[in-house]
Chains A and B, each alone.
Chain A
Amino acid sequence: MCAFCFLGMAAAIAYKEREQGRLGVIQFLSMEAAAPVQQGFDRLTRKLVGIWESYIMLVNVDRENRELREQIRRLKHEINSYREESLENRRLRELLDFKRRVDTLMIPAEVVGRDPSDWYRSIIIDKGSRSHVRKDMAVVSYEGIVGRVISASPNYAKILLILDRNSAVSAVIQRTRARSILSGTGENYCLLKYVAPSEDVRVGDAVISSGLNGIFPKGLLLGAVVRVDYRPGELFQTIRVAPAVDVYTLEEVMVLLGPPHADPLRITPHAPQITDE
């Protein structure tokens, strides 16, 4: 009976305290005892979760890092190929522009090989007799004259560059119209031969083809004078010419198939003779 009374009183007090928003003794004691433990566990759990998440995150970051590196590598490769294509595009555009200016049949060709010996200056292109390339046809680039065909197989042709010792091109100094022969030396320059001492030749003068030898069209750029020497008593001046075309970095050229009857300085934007392979 007493117990029931005690329980009834306790329930009444608890109800009253709950009504008043206060904790009971038991709740108070249990909470005060359990809360620090719970707090400790909570902190520990949080730390463990943090560590785990950091680890997972690091793993993810590492993976992401690798993926990004791969992406960067791929993008760099793409940029490089775009740059290369852009450069090629520019060269081809200039070749096309050149094609429009030169009023003759021509085909584009790619340089596929270079002379293995020190003694000659020649290149191999990927067009041959199947593309109507024959001996003594002129080979040019948009910068100027490259050389002439010396032999052709069905798919390839060998080009003797103007730098070769065996090369000689009939030339004119553009400013003075003095005629001469541009001869290769086997080195990185050519010599302008048979220019009389009375001719006024200056460093920087442009040398162009005269069109007289029947291979190269008239007016194509051969190079520029870089040095003029004359020793009294000699018959001719010694004139060094730097070729307009950098033959060592050449990648695309044009083979002139048609007769060299046109003046390339005459612009013919829609020349009907242009043929493409």
Chain B
Amino acid sequence: MLLRLPMSKTFLFLAWAALLFILQTSWLGPASGYRTIHIFLIFVCYLGITQEPATGLPAALLLGVLTDTFSGGSFGMFLILYLLAYLVGFSAGKKVYLQSVLYRVGAVLAMDVSFRLLLLNLLRVLEDAPVTDVTRVLPGILATALMSPVCFWVFDASLNRLEMLTHAGRAKPRARG
């Protein structure tokens, strides 16, 4: 049975979240310290900018839960941060024109800077972590921003493909009998 488009989108983004999680924990993640590309944040930004809560929010929350489950921090921290990132992206997407690549890169950059600063402060408050030199996180922020157009393009392409498939499925005439 063919799923309705919003539900298909929800499942598509959940699958993307799972795939990105696997990538982050295996290929992209280890040994890079603060310099890793923050691919989860790019994805959550994309969801916030382009998707309604019904289709985008479950994937953002799934990423938060998975990150919390597998990381050594307090449970719920990443869940709240990704939820916040989604909501900020969503409201920014409604008010600001974010359809061009450059604006999207800018949005990811701003979001990543805010995310990392917020997280660093949270860690300082919750876990008494030492103050981190901001210059150490800059390479990661820049890499994330530069990588975001490629990621956005890939997410867009998968979404377009899904829409094409869904419309093609709908256009088929019903079999009689």
Contacts and interface: CB of A to CB of B under 8 A. Distances in A.
Contacts of A118: 32-34, 36, 38, 140
A113 B70 contact: yes
Given A116-B21, A120-B71, A188 B78 contact: no
Interface string B73-106: 1000010000000000000000000000000000
Interface size class of A (residues with CB under 8 A): 20 to 34
Contacts of A114: 25-26, 29-30, 70
Contacts of B78: 117
A273 interface: no
B33 A122 contact: no
Interface stretch (B122-130, B154-162, B164-172): B122-130
A154 B43 CA distance: 32
B124 to A, nearest CB: 10
A164 interface: yes
Contacts of A188: 31, 33
A117 B71 contact: yes
B129 to A, nearest CB: 5
B72 A166 contact: yes
B66 interface: yes
The interface residues of chain B, by DSSP majority, are classed as helix
Nearest to A191: B130
B44 to A, nearest CB: 13
B5 interface: no
Given A117-B78, A188-B31, A164 B66 contact: no
B119 A115 contact: no
Interface of B: 21, 24-26, 29-34, 36, 38, 40, 66-67, 70-73, 78, 119, 123, 127, 129-130, 140
A-B pairs with lowest CB-CB distance, top 10 = A122-B72, A120-B72, A248-B31, A248-B30, A117-B71, A120-B71, A116-B24, A115-B71, A116-B25, A114-B25
27 contacts: A113-B70, A114-B25, A114-B29, A115-B29, A116-B29, A116-B40, A116-B66, A116-B67, A116-B71, A117-B67, A117-B73, A118-B38, A119-B73, A119-B123, A120-B72, A122-B70, A150-B72, A158-B70, A158-B72, A160-B72, A164-B72, A165-B123, A165-B129, A186-B129, A187-B33, A188-B31, A248-B30
